[in-house]
């Protein structure tokens, strides 16, 4: 298995930077978990729906060719 540390070391060895900075594990973890970087397919639509997310787009928009963005506004109440 490949760890976040393995990936960040590879980036450092190759001189790959993100926003002019070296990649760190915490940023990589956040980047990979951010739905902006997820392929918007029907499986993702069903997942968000099962989690109670208010989905603006129709299911037909989740065709696997776009990304998606999960937005939590200020008026969202925490449980």
Q: Does 24 lie in the same domain as 41?
A: no
Same domain, 4 and 29: yes
Q: Are residue 42 and residue 79 in the same domain, yes or no? A: yes
Could you give the number of structural domains in the chain? 2
Per DSSP, helices labelled H in the chain are 4-14, 25-33, 42-50
Task: Tell which phi-psi region holds residue 20, choosing left (phi > 0), alpha (psi between -120 and 50) or beta.
Answer: left
User: What residue numbers bound the domain in which 3 lies?
Assistant: 1-33
Query: pLDDT tens digits for 21-54?
Result: 888 988 888 877 776 667 889 999 999 899 888 8
Give the rounded percent of residues in the chain with a pLDDT score beyond 90: 37
Same domain for 45 and 76, yes or no, is yes
Do 47 and 79 reside in the same domain of the chain?
A: yes
Altogether, the residues listed in the chain come to a count of 79
- Whether 47 and 77 share a structural domain: yes
Kindly report whether the global pTM for this prediction surpasses the value 0.75.
no
Q: Does residue 49 sit in the same domain as residue 19?
A: no
């Amino acid at each position: 298995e490949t760890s976040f540390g393995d990936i960040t070391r590879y980036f450092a060895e190759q001189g790959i930077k993100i926003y002019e900075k070296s990649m760190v594990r915490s940023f990589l973890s956040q980047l990979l978990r951010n739905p902006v970087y997820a392929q918007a397919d029907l499986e993702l639509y069903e997942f968000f729906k099962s989690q109670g997310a208010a989905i603006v787009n129709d299911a037909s928009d989740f065709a696997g060719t776009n990304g998606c963005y999960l937005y939590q506004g200020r008026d969202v109440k925490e449980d």
